[in-house]
Chains A and B, each alone.
Chain A
Amino acid sequence: MIGQTSPAVEVSGLNIALDLPDGSSRAIVDNVSFAIPKGEVLALIGESGSGKTTIALAMMGYSRFGATISADRIRIGDMQIDALGERALGKVRGSRVAYIAQSAAAAFNPSRTIISQVIEPLIVHGLASRKEAREKAIGLFSALALPSPETIGDRYVHQVSGGQLQRLMAAMALITDPELIILDEPTTALDVTTQVEVLKTFKQAIVASGATAIYVSHDLAVVAQVADQIVVLKDGRMVEQGKAGDLLRSPQSDYTHSLIAAARPVNRAAAPDEAEALLTVEAVHAGYGRVRDGRAAIPVISDVSLALGKGCSLGIIGESGSGKSTLARVIGGLLPASAGAIRLGGELLAPGLAGRSREQLRQIQLVFQNADTALNPMQTVRDAIARPLAFYHGIRGAAADARVAELLDVIQLQPSLAERRTSELSGGQKQRVNLARALAAEPRVLLCDEVTSALDTVVGAAILDLIDALRRQMGIATIFISHDISTVRAFCDEMLVLYSGRVVETCSKAAFSTPVHHPYTELLIDSVPALDPGWLAMLGERHAPAIADTPADEALCPFLARCPVAIAGTCDSQPPSLRETAGMRLLCHAVQPQLASEALNQ
């Protein structure tokens, strides 16, 4: 028997090595040890390649790509995992140790009903009859705040939203009352407003089940909400370990410091106000399919207007599907607007690429989200950067080489990298080359579409710093598109909030700090986890449920179904009115921006 004080999970001297084709092996996890008292949550935090998921999977005696697990000890309760054979491990997995994967959409079998998979652990381990299992599943569905718990399980994966799927997977893990639950980035694929809800439910469910848990994540703020202990990992090694609160308050290692700094972007100075407008977008509509009367068959953005001042920065924020990337494509001419006008320096731009002059195209440059796909893998760094030099400026030969070297210097890369294929670069290096290519055109407007979302936090923060420094230095007006409101807030002079393809709020940096916002903006602000273990608890019940559809009538407020302050009889019958004061425009009946200007004056 295990004594009272003995931890529920104990790992010491864990090594995991990958066998390489040439016969050698490479350590991907090196000498990791930790212990978790019963009922507590341990977080494994690190960037991609830190080995965090590999360690978590080793708790079930499972490794990917045939990697070899060896350890002095992996003990869960009375089980010595490292001593078990494959057959015995099969009995442990899904019954005493359960796993929740990052993407439930991929982890559920698409051609079986969800409930048949949720109850599968009970059935295959012979723990319950089909009928009992079903009842238990339905009980868990309602405990996890899923809508229509009686019937939701009879659906298939493609019929359920991402946030709901993640909870359904939690039900699948909890159904056998496991001793240890492993949560592998369970909220990373979700939108920020959904993430909060799921996080809250998970936390309650873990506490209620009394299980011990390992929470794998790259996001310190998320981890702060759920973890009792944190282990910081880098390149398969433990960097630091401690109680969650202590570690976040006073990190010991430089690496943890840099992680925390990257999670909290520092506010940048705003531009001198009222700069002359350089780029304006006026009542633009765009979408896909046949266009009739200026409206596409599948509209994505409607009636979007914005103005970007010379040398200023504008942040566009919205969740996936809000149309923010589409807006960037429309401004860049890749997707012609179906109605409305786009002007650059007062000059009207044609909606499509074909109608724009080379000089106009040069002035607006896009930097895409995913550097892996934004660079042609068959080209060298030099090819990629030299092409716009030749195309726009006619610079070739030695002059081009010199300019490429200069640009590499600007983006802080070694000149020797010029000869490398872009496919041989790291993610951060790629994104820098991506930026250099845009700068080579000497644009007046830079469109940055989620430039850090594919990067690790620290690398991404460095890229943002670089873009911010360069745009100020070169006086390039910049649009940052992001799903992360704290980034936008730190880097942008002005912010625009998109919801369902419509602008629900525009506000200046100064007005941002006032308490008056569109209810959706408020929801976004409230949904960003703070680096504070008490944040989730404090949040309380302020949140509107994030499970609803947009109203059928296009003219009505798109946020209506989720709005906590909607006025019955007004919001559901009249189109929202545009309210405008200094530094702020809102599309809402319920919120009075006058309050904002008053707040500003205080």
Chain B
Amino acid sequence: MNGRLAARLAAMPLSGRIGFALVLFWLVVAVAGPLTAPHPVGKFVDEEVFSPASAQHWLGSDYLGRDVLSRLMWGARYTVLLALGAAALAVATGTSIALFAAIRGGLVDEVISRAMDTLISIPSKIFALVLVAAFGSSLALLMLIAAFTYIPGNYRIARALAVNLVGMDFVQVARARGEGAIHIAWREVLPNMIHPLLADMGLRFVFIVLLLSGLSFLGLGVQPPHADLGSLVRENISGLPQGASAILSPALAIATLTVGANLLIDALKGGGEA
């Protein structure tokens, strides 16, 4: 398994390897970051606000004189884990519904697909805003809202894949053998969808990171005392005229995470047909 991963990496274009490194870096930061953060996340450690990078504070201090690097490490955890959870949830749910619809077919499929078409015609950020207004924005709710917002998109892709596979002769053979729906979904159809589904999950992850940090930036996402990367940008917005590190670092952190994920997914898909 490791050998295959290494071979895959070696075969990738440079952009893919950079992407892999960036994603890996942020995953490590999300898991281990808070343990290695130089300062407690909420502690005022600098007399100056918006101070530039220095030996004590590698990324400077924020609008209250807190250590930006430490806050960034904590923020990355919220951003990465929330988005990862939401993306996994969205893909698991969307794909399960898609498999059900594709294998059942007929009226069941039509009704589900129509419902999903309705949801997908509400632009995702608009939809998320309505849901946040309605339900609020605790961490668990944010994850559910982000997942729910991207279920229809995953459903559409998974259903297209599944319908295609269900029409294939090997599924017809399994049905003619008398296999049940569960066997067909789990053994015949799903294994053939795994790669595109993983790519889709990667894309959903990127969308969700952008959605959640956008919401936090608007003050509608992760609420204090918690802070994800988007919240960090928001709370330091007054440092913009100085070009403070406190506002640029978290914004760049998000960008390196999402760009890295995008580069990796693109390379795994075969890097286009070039």
Contacts and interface: CB of A to CB of B under 8 A. Distances in A.
Nearest to B179: A391
B191 interface: yes
Interface string B161-189: 00000001110110111110000000010
B176 to A, nearest CB: 5
Interface in A373-389: 373-379, 387-388
Interface string A389-416: 0011000000000000000000000000
A444 interface: no
B176 A332 contact: yes
B192 interface: yes
A244 B246 CA distance: 83
B169 A361 contact: no
Nearest to A378: B191
Contacts of B178: 353, 356, 358, 361-362, 391
B184 to A, nearest CB: 11
Contacts of A437: 173
Interface in A141-182: none
Contacts of A366: 172-173, 176
B177 A374 contact: no
Given A329-B172, A353-B178, 18 more contacts: A333-B176, A334-B175, A358-B178, A361-B176, A362-B178, A364-B176, A366-B173, A368-B169, A368-B173, A369-B169, A374-B169, A374-B170, A375-B170, A377-B192, A391-B178, A392-B177, A437-B173, A441-B177
Nearest to B178: A361
A361 B170 contact: no
Interface in B104-152: none
Contacts of B179: 391
A364 B191 CA distance: 27
B137 to A, nearest CB: 41
A439 B192 CA distance: 25
A370 B170 CA distance: 10
A181 B31 CA distance: 67
Interface in B178-232: 178-179, 188, 191-192
Given A368-B169, A373-B169, A374-B169, A334 B176 contact: yes
Interface of B: 168-170, 172-173, 175-179, 188, 191-192
A353 B176 CA distance: 7
B172 A361 contact: no
B181 to A, nearest CB: 11
Contacts of A388: 177
B165 to A, nearest CB: 9
Interface in A71-89: none
| Interface residues of B, dominant DSSP | helix
Interface of A: 329, 332-334, 353, 356, 358, 361-362, 364-366, 368-370, 373-379, 387-388, 391-392, 437, 441
B203 to A, nearest CB: 23
A426 to B, nearest CB: 17
The listed residue with most A CB atoms (<10 A of its CB), out of B168, B172, B178, B179, is B178
Contacts of B192: 376-378
A373 B177 contact: no
Contacts of B188: 376
Nearest to B171: A376
Contacts, number: 48
A184 B264 CA distance: 41
B241 to A, nearest CB: 51
A334 B176 CA distance: 6
A474 B17 CA distance: 57
A334 B167 CA distance: 12
Contacts of B175: 334, 353
The 8 closest A-B pairs by CB, nearest first: A378-B191, A374-B169, A368-B169, A361-B178, A373-B169, A376-B170, A373-B168, A332-B176
Nearest to A384: B170
B177 A376 contact: no
22 contacts: A332-B176, A353-B176, A356-B178, A358-B178, A361-B176, A361-B177, A361-B178, A362-B178, A364-B176, A365-B176, A366-B172, A368-B169, A370-B169, A373-B168, A373-B169, A374-B169, A374-B173, A377-B192, A378-B191, A378-B192, A391-B177, A391-B179
A21 to B, nearest CB: 9
A32 B16 CA distance: 42
Given A369-B169, A370-B169, A376 B176 contact: no
Nearest to B170: A376
Contacts of A364: 176
A379 B175 CA distance: 16
Contacts of B191: 376, 378-379
Contacts of A356: 178
B185 to A, nearest CB: 13
A432 B45 CA distance: 74
A362 B192 CA distance: 26
Nearest to A359: B178
Give the interface centre of B168, B170, B188 by most chain A CB atoms within 10 Å: B170
A358 B172 CA distance: 16
Nearest to B167: A373
A437 B179 CA distance: 14
A441 B170 CA distance: 16
B162 to A, nearest CB: 14
A510 to B, nearest CB: 33
A441 B176 CA distance: 12
Contacts of A368: 169, 172-173
A136 B176 CA distance: 55
Contacts of B177: 361, 387-388, 391-392, 441
Contacts of A369: 169
A183 B94 CA distance: 49
A466 to B, nearest CB: 19
B126 to A, nearest CB: 35
A437 B188 CA distance: 15
Contacts of A378: 191-192
A377 B189 CA distance: 10
B189 to A, nearest CB: 9
A378 B179 CA distance: 17
Nearest to A447: B176
A373 B178 CA distance: 19
Nearest to A22: B11
A442 to B, nearest CB: 13
B169 to A, nearest CB: 4
A401 to B, nearest CB: 19
Contacts of B168: 373
A377 B178 CA distance: 20
